[in-house]
Structure 1
Amino acid sequence: MPPPAVSKPSQSAPLETSKPSALFKPRKGRDWTLSMAVAGSIIANVVKPDHKTLLAGRIARAAAVFCVDEIIVFDDDPTNIPNYIDPIYTNKGKKTKAQALDSIAEHDEPWQNPDQFLYHVLSYAECPPHLRADQNPGLSLFPQHQNLKWVGMLPSLDMPHHLKSHEWCRFREGVTLGPTSDARSTPSSKKSKDKSKQQPGTYVKCGLPYPVRIATEVPPVMRVTLRFTDPEPPKSWPHLSQQECEALKVEAVAPTVPRQEEGYYWGYQIRRAGSLSEVFTASEFKDGYDLSIGTSERGAPLKAILPDHLVSKQIKKTRDPNVAQLPSEFNHLLIVFGGVAGLEPAVAADPEFKRVGLTKETAHEAFDAWVNLVQGQGSRTIRTEEAVEFGLFGLKDYVESMYDRGT
């Protein structure tokens, strides 16, 4: 019997592997979003600050790879003051936990304020590199801080809004330099200063050779999302002169516009929540999250809750009829990951959940779905950062199916 035929690689075009080819390509504008909430206490479980930074980087990296639109860092034990907080900040127990955390000095934050540390590092990682710091410290979005001392160890996120200077996109992130009427914020030439007096607005540094100008007046050192009127790059791109940069027609838009209008993944918004219940009650979406998923080793297998069109016939036959499936569509999906002890203690420790009678045993009732991400695990525990990666990967096909909504 002759050996099977083996296809030979094309000789005309050698395979190029020196540069990444999996660039994000927007499909169509979308209003639906993917959010995840993570307990900040995972940082307190790590001793060395460089390891804390690496852990935060792993969370950020997972969010970037799986196009998470929002991250919420929540306190999974909002009333009890942990023993790693120095008594000088608790006033011998006379302060609440929130008051104690607010009083922690900058040099102690990496060790005593884990939620703020995680929030701070995640915010830094999401920001385009060219906006994080400036030669003029007063124009830096992220001034020097103890929490950021080890950010050189963070992995690159390389998201679509982390544009290189030669890359063109109709949208860009920028930082305001101040009103054009303020000589300190304008380009150096006298001609530009005279011109700016006639055309009020704001100069914005956005990674081009020179700042661009928007008509709106915005205070200095504010991050803004820019949209260029012309979707095509200028003829001299990327070698633009100062006059060409200033002549570009550009406006400031909401940071959600690139996603909503053209379908770009434009990084993640981030906020802190003082408790697990606040993750829900302080949502920035008008009607909150219409679908929430809690993760626990006591939950149902992920394959048991996915809609029929995403699982095999064999899985359909073996489903537990008592386990509800996820809806075929959602508007704002939230997946929640607990700390070292899991989500059950976080529900039991939450004052609002306590008020409505939820306990460790009934913690699953706080969510629309209660999922075990890994069955038959070889290790005794699944770390939170691993659960984040497994969970986002497991939901990827479900989330991606939203692009087919209405088609």
Structure 2
Amino acid sequence: MVNTRDNIVVNTKTRSKKGTSDEPTDNTKKRKASASVVIHQKLSDGVSPAKKRKSESQHQDVEEIDTSKPTAIFQPTAGRDWTVTIALPGSWTLNAKKPDHKTVLVGRIARFAAIYCVDEIVVFDDDPSNVDSKVVDPKYIREGRSKQEVLDSILEQDEAWQNPDQFMYHLLSFAECPPHLRREIFQEHQNLKWVGNLPSMDMPHHLRSHEWCRYREGVVTGRAPAPSSTPNKSKKSKASQVEYAYVDCGLPHPVRVPIPEETSLEQGMRTTVRFANADADPPPAWPHLSQQDCENLQAVACAASLPREEVGYYWGYTVRRAPSLSAVFSECEYKDGYDFCIGTSERGQSVYSFTSGAGTSSANGAPAVKAPDSFKHLLLVFGGQAGIEPAVANDPALVARGLGKGSAGTLFDAWINLVPRQGSRTIRTEEAVSIGLAALKPWIDNMYEQ
């Protein structure tokens, strides 16, 4: 294999041997002459010296751009209360036979979620009633056991192959967690043996130690004494009733936060911390803070959704497991559920007609749906190896409502074909997630303008 860098060095040495004197070679003269001719022609064509200087300045600015480090830093504009959720079964990871390959596949889902600002990922079981003996070892299958009981009995070393939903849930949670908290929150586990294959998420809440932000993710390290200084007696009596905890936020030392009355911050628990300083400027002596500086920072524990709702930060995604497709809807953690739900299928209407409103019907003859102008909580559902239709037919709750493979599209507000006239016979789940989020992004981004 030829080393390109070595090749360049050799060519440079060869050129230096050709010209041993100070006189330029004929080739150099020709290059200089041709260059002057080009400049003369440009000036003679009517380009003024002022425009030429402006062009050179613009060219210089482009050259000075530093592309060695990422520059697309997320900048919040305004708080948002709307969310985007994707749901998919863990069974699609069974396509990969090796655990490191499975880890790479799950890492792609996490990466796509981070890029497209997905707020929630739901991992659901697309066959909640049946235990496939080709997937689960017969030693776990016993008469009288429900599927959930069988899955709960699977040993740690077998989860990657025999409990794909839990494996995917575990890895997605690990990938979302800020790197400085992973050692404290996640214990050593067989599922995490190949996390070195996960891509970097680099989300806004994955802050470096020198980066200042009004919010940070932290982990409780233990109880903390109350602050010693109090402004007056009334506040002193009130402060004496408040308990405090130390939270490691990735700063040089833990910060002290009061424990909310309605919750209990236990050691090892993850929490979001909000600093009282609303200004963009960091505190004095930043980032070289002493222990006293960190303890004196006014901070409170808050909900993980607050950075999104209050300022507009994309603050990562939450992960939820659902025992069936119907449970994706019934166990939704939002007060009024998902107000607009999209199912993906090659038998649905074109995604382009959905976003433009130009279509008339879907592949099965159903009326085409136009994308709504707004939504509160959007749900985008992807199927496994055989699509969403089998998940509907395998769900007892949906079957009881009269739904099956042929009527699976009626479960959703829109039944969308992400890749009309696809060239490949199949589209993998991880590909569908990437394609779907990219295709719907212009429509979703309109929510930022409202």
Equivalent residue number for residue 277 of structure 2 = 230
Equivalent residue number for residue 374 of structure 1 = 419
Match of 2:138 among 87, 103, 108: 87
Equivalent residue number for residue 209 of structure 2 = 165
| Aligned counterparts, 1:119-130, within 5 A | 119-130=169-180
Match of 2:399 among 347, 354, 365: 354
Equivalent residue number for residue 348 of structure 2 = 299
CA distance in 2, matches of 1:54, 1:48: 10
CA distance in 2, matches of 1:271, 1:199: 33
Shift in Å, 1:10: 3.0
**Change in 2 beyond 3 A, CA 1:320/1:343:** closer
Match of 1:46 among 96, 110, 116: 96
Equivalent residue number for residue 112 of structure 2 = 62
Match of 1:78 among 96, 114, 128: 128
CA distance in 1, matches of 2:361, 2:426: 25
Match of 1:180 among 216, 224, 246: 224
Shift in Å, 1:276: 0.3
Equivalent residue number for residue 339 of structure 2 = 290
Which amino acid letter does the alignment assign opposite residue 413 of structure 2? D
| Aligned counterparts, 1:235-254, within 5 A | 235-254=284-303
Contact 1:55 1:385 (C-alpha < 8 Å) held by counterparts: yes
CA distance in 2, matches of 1:50, 1:11: 45
Shift in Å, 1:79: 0.6
Which amino acid letter does the alignment assign opposite residue 392 of structure 1? L
Equivalent residue number for residue 22 of structure 2 = none
CA distance in 2, matches of 1:16, 1:46: 39
Instruction: Tell me the TM-score normalised to structure 2 length.
Output: 0.80
Match of 2:390 among 336, 345, 349: 345
Shift in Å, 1:15: 1.9
Equivalent residue number for residue 204 of structure 1 = 247
Matched, 1:277 2:326: yes
Which amino acid letter does the alignment assign opposite residue 35 of structure 1? T
Match of 2:198 among 154, 171, 180: 154
Shift in Å, 1:178: 1.5
Contact 2:349 2:361 (C-alpha < 8 Å) held by counterparts: no
Equivalent residue number for residue 313 of structure 1 = none
Equivalent residue number for residue 104 of structure 1 = 154
CA distance in 2, matches of 1:66, 1:225: 22
Match of 2:371 among 308, 312, 326: 326
Contact 2:351 2:418 (C-alpha < 8 Å) held by counterparts: yes
1:131-186 alpha-carbon deviations (Å, 9 max, x no partner): 000xxxxxx2001000000001100000000000000000000000121159xxxx
Which amino acid letter does the alignment assign opposite residue 146 of structure 2? T
Matched, 1:267 2:310: no
| Aligned counterparts, 1:312-323, within 5 A | 316=358, 319-320=360-361, 322-323=367-368
**Change in 2 beyond 3 A, CA 1:199/1:294:** closer
SS at 1:122's partner residue? helix
SS at 1:292's partner residue? strand
Match of 1:25 among 71, 75, 78: 75
| Aligned counterparts, 1:386-405, within 5 A | 386-405=431-450
1:341-360 alpha-carbon deviations (Å, 9 max, x no partner): 00000001111110000010
Shift in Å, 1:94: 2.9
Matched, 1:144 2:194: no
CA distance in 1, matches of 2:96, 2:327: 25
**Change in 2 beyond 3 A, CA 1:320/1:82:** closer
Shift in Å, 1:11: 2.0
CA distance in 1, matches of 2:369, 2:241: 63
Moved more, 156-165 or 229-238: 229-238
Contact 1:175 1:221 (C-alpha < 8 Å) held by counterparts: yes
CA distance in 1, matches of 2:287, 2:154: 46
Look at both structures and tell me which one has the larger radius of gyration over its CA atoms.
2
Equivalent residue number for residue 190 of structure 1 = none
Shift in Å, 1:87: 1.5
Unmatched runs of 5 consecutive residues or more in structure 1? 134-139, 183-195, 309-315
CA distance in 2, matches of 1:288, 1:4: 65
Residue identity over aligned pairs, in percent, reads 55
Contact 1:53 1:153 (C-alpha < 8 Å) held by counterparts: yes
CA distance in 1, matches of 2:242, 2:386: 58
Moved more, 274-283 or 322-331: 322-331
CA distance in 1, matches of 2:417, 2:111: 22
SS at 2:64's partner residue? coil
Contact 1:307 1:327 (C-alpha < 8 Å) held by counterparts: no
Shift in Å, 1:319: 4.8
SS at 2:140's partner residue? helix
**Change in 2 beyond 3 A, CA 1:396/1:99:** same
CA RMSD of aligned residues (A): 2.2
Aligned length: 377
SS at 1:57's partner residue? helix
CA distance in 2, matches of 1:174, 1:286: 27
Shift in Å, 1:36: 0.3
Shift in Å, 1:200: 3.7
Instruction: Tell me the TM-score normalised to structure 1 length.
Output: 0.89
